[in-house]
Amino acid sequence: MNQIHFALQVFAALAVVLVATTVCGRLAMLVKQPRVVGEMVAGVLLGPALLGAVAPGVQAQLFPADVKNTLYVLSTIGLTFYMFLVGSSLDHGLTAGSNARKASVLAISGIVPTFLLGAGAAVVFYDSLSPEGTSMWVFMLFIGGALSITAFPMLARILQERGIANTPIGGLTLVAAAIDDAAAWAFLALIIAVGASGSPAGALKTIAGAAIFAVLMLTVGRKWLAKLGERAERDGKLSRDMVAVILFIVLLAGWYTDYIGVFSVFGGFITGLAMPNSKVVRRELDTKLTDLNSILLLPVFFAFSGLNTRVDGFGSGGALWFQLAAMMLVAFVGKYVGCGLVVRAQGYSWRYASAVGGLMNARGLMILIFINIGLAYDLVTPEMFAILVAVAIVTTAAAMPIYRASLPDHLEAQASLKSPEPVR
């Protein structure tokens, strides 16, 4: 009977999460925002920000500790497969030639200034917002890394919806965001290894384990998976057994990377990168995995993030508003100015530069994954976690308004030109 009661609690929690994220996602789309913005807001509203403040008894009934633990497991599975789909969706051809060189410069221009500004802010707020026992260097690395993220999957969806994903400016931004995210996950693995291992030897073991996994998966694993891709191309589909093999590999990779201390999303992402560059495989994975993952499991992650987001420090007389404003400014300026100046230097107009700067500021789901991992490893306090959640929502919500203001519809059409357009 206890198990039946627990199952009923989990089903109720999942139903509430599904309704809240679906409704808020739809409302976000009505005001011309990406669906993910509404889903992020829904997660926060299910936490102390609204439901916990208005009806604390209801929230406690819906999300007791054991249900939260179950939601954590479900969200971790969802994130692992989400990052697998992100990695598998990357077009290997986009990373070649002059476009890759320009995109690499753009990615670095967004990462370096934002990282330095974020690390500087971490030094200022170290005494008040760092977890007890965390070194200043680890705190600096974590905050700088978190703010340096760009939401590649969301950016890809925006560019596709606008019809400019395959244009020079769209392709440049998309590849830069992909490089940005890949660097962020490698960086997070390093931070966790250093910050959570407890000893230099433990950190070295974790880093070595992650490096060996990545090398083997991207060499031997990629060659083996290429055979699966060839078979899928011949058959025109992925069979049930082939899908089972892929799921097994993703789960095993997630288990291994979690076991060595770099979190399961790293294993999912690297496995995705090793997948063959096959249209059939991508179509089949998208058809078979994306809907369940994006409609049910990822919203569970948003809810879990919201339940961990404490807003008491933002109340009347709250002490966190200054820190929030500082972090918001650091996050925005680093990406917008750094990326915008590089795009301008590459021959595009100031309007294009501003549009790219705004898009590269969209952190979306990626920063939430980053900071949730940090919270799990005690690399960030609940107060700083709440600040970074707010940064994630605001910078993501600001991306499209900045883009539209920079490139109105009559100018956006010129993005299809083969060369930089000297729009004033």
Based on its alpha-carbon atoms, the radius of gyration of the chain, rounded to whole angstroms, reads: 21
Across the range 197-201, mean pLDDT stands at: 60
Across the range 190-217, mean pLDDT stands at: 75
pLDDT of residue 247: 93
pLDDT of residue 180: 79
- The answer to whether residue 229 sits within a structural domain is yes
351 near 326, Cβ under 8 Å? no
Q: Could you report the per-residue pLDDT of 309-329, keeping only the tens digit for each?
A: 877 666 555 567 888 999 999
242, with CB counted inside 10 A (0-12, 13-18, 19+), is: middle
pLDDT of residue 253: 94
Two tokens, residue 71: 């939601």
- The answer to whether residue 195 sits within a structural domain is yes
Q: How many residues does the chain have?
A: 424
Two tokens, residue 225: 């998976």
179-188, 194-203, 226-235, 290-299, range with the lowest pLDDT: 194-203
Confidence of residue 255 (pLDDT cuts 50, 70, 90): very high
Confidence of residue 224 (pLDDT cuts 50, 70, 90): very high
Two tokens, residue 146: 């978190």
Q: Could you report the per-residue pLDDT of 6-24, keeping only the tens digit for each?
A: 899 999 999 999 999 999 9
pLDDT of residue 278: 83
Rounded to 5 degrees, φ, ψ at 43 are -60, -40
The yes-or-no verdict on residue 33 having pLDDT over 80 is: yes
pLDDT of residue 420: 45
- The answer to whether residue 156 sits within a structural domain is yes
The yes-or-no verdict on residue 421 having pLDDT over 50 is: no
Across the range 406-416, mean pLDDT stands at: 68
Measured between alpha carbons, how far is 189 from 145 in angstroms, rounded to an integer? Answer: 11
Tell me which residue range forms the domain holding 164. 2-416
pLDDT of residue 419: 45
The string of DSSP codes covering 283-308 is HHHIIIIIHHIIIIIHHHHHHHHHHT
21, with CB counted inside 10 A (0-12, 13-18, 19+), is: buried
106 near 339, Cβ under 8 Å? yes
pLDDT of residue 135: 84
Mean pLDDT (the chain) is: 83
Across the range 227-233, mean pLDDT stands at: 89
Q: Could you report the per-residue pLDDT of 367-399, keeping only the tens digit for each?
A: 888 888 888 888 888 889 989 988 988 998 888
pLDDT of residue 117: 94
Helices 321-345 and 97-124: crossing angle in degrees, nearest 10, is 160
Two tokens, residue 248: 């097994």
3-state secondary structure at position 99? helix
Confidence of residue 126 (pLDDT cuts 50, 70, 90): very high
The DSSP symbol for 63 reads S
The string of DSSP codes covering 167-208 is SHHHHHHHHHHHHHHHHHHHHHHHHHHHHHSSSHHHHHHHHH
- CB-CB neighbours of 27 under 10 Å: 15
Measured between alpha carbons, how far is 312 from 287 in angstroms, rounded to an integer? Answer: 42
CATH number of the CATH domain containing 124: 1.20.1530.20
Confidence of residue 70 (pLDDT cuts 50, 70, 90): very high
The yes-or-no verdict on residue 217 having pLDDT over 60 is: yes
- The answer to whether residue 421 sits within a structural domain is no
pTM of the predicted structure, to 2 decimals: 0.77
- The answer to whether residue 188 sits within a structural domain is yes
**CA quadruple 375, 379, 381, 383: dihedral positive or negative?**
negative
The DSSP symbol for 130 reads S
- The answer to whether residue 197 sits within a structural domain is yes
Opening angle at CA 31, ends 26 and 32, nearest 5: 90
Query: Residue with structure tokens 């031997």?
Result: 220
**CA quadruple 325, 326, 328, 333: dihedral positive or negative?**
positive
How many structural domains is the chain composed of? 1
Measured between alpha carbons, how far is 29 from 40 in angstroms, rounded to an integer? Answer: 13
Look at 153 and 126; give whichever has higher pLDDT.
126
- CB-CB neighbours of 143 under 10 Å: 32
The yes-or-no verdict on residue 88 having pLDDT over 70 is: yes
- The answer to whether residue 45 sits within a structural domain is yes
pLDDT of residue 244: 92
- The answer to whether residue 300 sits within a structural domain is yes
Secondary structure element (H or E) that encloses residue 346, with its range:
none
The yes-or-no verdict on residue 415 having pLDDT over 70 is: no
Percent of the chain with pLDDT over 90: 21
pLDDT of residue 417: 45
Two tokens, residue 366: 């990626």
Confidence of residue 400 (pLDDT cuts 50, 70, 90): confident
351-356 long-range Cβ contacts below 8 angstroms, 24+ apart: 351/406, 351/407, 351/411, 351/423, 351/424, 352/169, 352/406, 352/407, 352/415, 352/420, 352/421, 352/423, 354/402, 354/405, 354/406, 355/169, 355/402, 355/403, 355/406, 355/407, 356/106, 356/169, 356/172, 356/173
Look at 101 and 232; give whichever has higher pLDDT.
232
Residue 178 CA to chain centroid, in angstroms? 11
pLDDT of residue 413: 63
Confidence of residue 341 (pLDDT cuts 50, 70, 90): very high
pLDDT of residue 238: 87
